[in-house]
Structure formats: structure tokens, C-alpha cells
């Protein structure tokens, strides 16, 4: 019995590992990619457009190369599953794990750059002055993302980066890299370096991140 029990638990552990392993585009079957495309068309395209390029003021691009390169599968899956509370992005948990992963695999198939997600998420937490961060945010970021970080609901063209639905799922490295480099073919420009829209320093970027974290703390835990 002891030996059988060990075999059973070993197989159970292997099954859990298989279920918990993300489906990457380079290993996803053609059937999975076709299913992902079909699911995307049915559930996501009405807002994110048929080609997933998004629409300013409605939904962001999901095939943007900078986004795909710094987004982990865990982040993408959790966003689809949970949605973004207080935004136009509803939860899709009803689809189930395998279908959500098929959508992520389909999005991954658009990636043309190597993944930097692990490296970006391993960056240290931001350390800065939220008072200075507010000054930068109000003068630069609020134009698109709204004074309270409410994004589209505030009439801006940028996403809601001041709400828990976003802040609870991203690392400081994710936010930092987005501010540094921006998102090509979108209205989100980079803000680091002499050629950027605003030549912010790394410290000033961290000030903004700390301020954003404070915005997210305004909301009670669900």
C-alpha cells in the first residue's frame, strides 16, 4: 500500500505540474492557437479589435511588442481571468483555465522579441518620494491616464494605471520598464533618455511608481 500510495501521489503531482505549466506560443499546438484565435474573436475582439491592436480610449493593444516582451503568462492569464474592476474589462473566469491559456498562447504568437518578463519582474521595488511622483504624474501622465489614474473612464486615452486591478498584478519593474521605453505604435511614449518625450531620471521614474502605488491603496480590499 505504501508503494502504491507513493506512485499515486507522484502521478497526481505530475498531473498538477502539467496543468500548472503555461502554454507558450512556441510550444503550443496549431489546434491550441486556432482555439485561442477563435476565443479571442468571440470574447476580446469587440474591444481590442480583430487584430488585437486595440483602440485609444477603448482598449489597449495586446499585440504590442513591448507589452508582450515584459508580460509574464501569469500576468496575462490573471488579467483575462479577473478582468479590471472599475474599468470596461470584465472577468472571463467562466472560460476556464485551458481556454484562457489558449488565448494567451494566441497573443504570444504575435511576439517578435524575446521575453524579458522574468528579468523585469526581478527588478527591485521602487523607492522614491510620492510627493515628487505626484508632481511628475500630474504634469505628464494624467493627460492620458486621468488625474486619479482612472484611464478611459476619466476621458483619457490611456489605461487605468491607478486602480488595484492593474497595480495588484504588476511588478514595479513592469511599470518602470513601461515608463522607460513606452509602447511602440501607441500613444504611450518612452520617458527615459534624451530622445524621450520627457527625459526623466531613474529616480524620478521610481517617484512616479511609489505615487501610483499610493493611488491603489485608496481602495478597500475586496
Q: In this predicted model, what pLDDT tens digit does every residue of 88-114 receive, in sequence order?
A: 999 999 999 999 999 999 999 999 999
55 DSSP β-pair partners:
59
Query: Tens digit of pLDDT for each residue in 26-68?
Result: 567 999 999 999 999 999 999 999 999 998 889 999 999 999 9
Q: Residues near 90 by Cβ (< 8 Å), separated by ≥ 6?
A: 83
Distance between CA 81 and CA 2 in Å, rounded?
39
Q: Which CATH number fits domain 2-115: 1.10.760.10, 1.10.10.10, 3.30.70.2190, 3.30.465.10?
A: 1.10.760.10
> What is the structure's pLDDT at 122?
98
Domain pair 2-115 / 123-216, same fold: yes
Predicted confidence (pLDDT) per residue in 114-165, tens digit: 999 999 999 999 999 999 999 999 999 999 999 999 999 888 889 999 999 9
Cell numbers for 149? 489614474
Mean pLDDT of 75-87: 96
55-to-36, 150, 164, 201, 222 alpha-carbon distances in Å: 21, 17, 22, 30, 30
Phi, psi of 104, deg, nearest 5? -65, -40
Domain ranges within the chain, ordered by starting residue: 2-115, 123-216
Class of domain 123-216: mainly alpha
Amino acid at each position: 500500500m505504501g508503494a502504491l500510495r507513493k506512485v499515486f501521489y507522484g502521478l497526481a503531482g505530475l498531473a498538477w505540474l502539467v496543468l500548472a505549466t503555461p502554454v507558450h506560443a512556441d510550444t503550443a499546438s496549431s489546434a491550441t492557437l486556432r482555439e485561442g484565435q477563435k476565443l479571442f474573436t468571440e470574447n476580446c475582439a469587440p474591444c481590442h479589435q480583430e487584430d488585437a491592436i486595440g483602440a485609444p480610449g477603448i482598449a489597449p493593444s495586446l499585440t504590442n511588442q513591448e507589452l508582450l516582451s515584459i508580460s509574464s503568462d501569469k500576468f496575462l492569464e490573471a488579467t483575462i481571468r479577473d478582468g479590471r474592476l472599475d474599468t470596461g474589462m470584465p472577468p472571463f473566469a467562466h472560460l476556464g483555465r485551458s481556454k484562457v491559456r489558449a488565448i494567451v498562447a494566441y497573443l504570444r504568437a504575435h511576439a517578435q522579441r524575446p521575453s524579458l518578463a522574468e528579468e523585469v519582474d526581478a527588478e527591485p521595488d521602487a523607492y522614491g518620494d510620492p510627493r515628487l511622483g505626484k508632481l511628475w504624474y500630474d504634469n505628464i501622465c494624467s493627460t492620458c491616464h486621468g488625474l486619479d489614474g482612472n484611464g478611459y473612464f476619466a476621458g483619457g486615452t490611456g489605461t487605468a494605471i491607478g486602480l488595484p486591478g492593474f497595480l495588484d498584478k504588476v511588478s514595479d519593474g513592469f511599470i518602470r520598464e513601461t515608463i522607460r521605453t513606452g509602447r511602440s505604435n501607441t500613444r504611450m511614449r518612452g520617458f527615459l533618455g534624451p530622445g524621450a518625450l520627457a527625459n526623466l531620471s531613474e529616480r524620478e521614474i521610481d517617484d512616479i511608481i511609489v505615487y501610483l502605488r499610493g493611488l491603489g491603496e485608496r481602495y478597500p480590499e475586496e
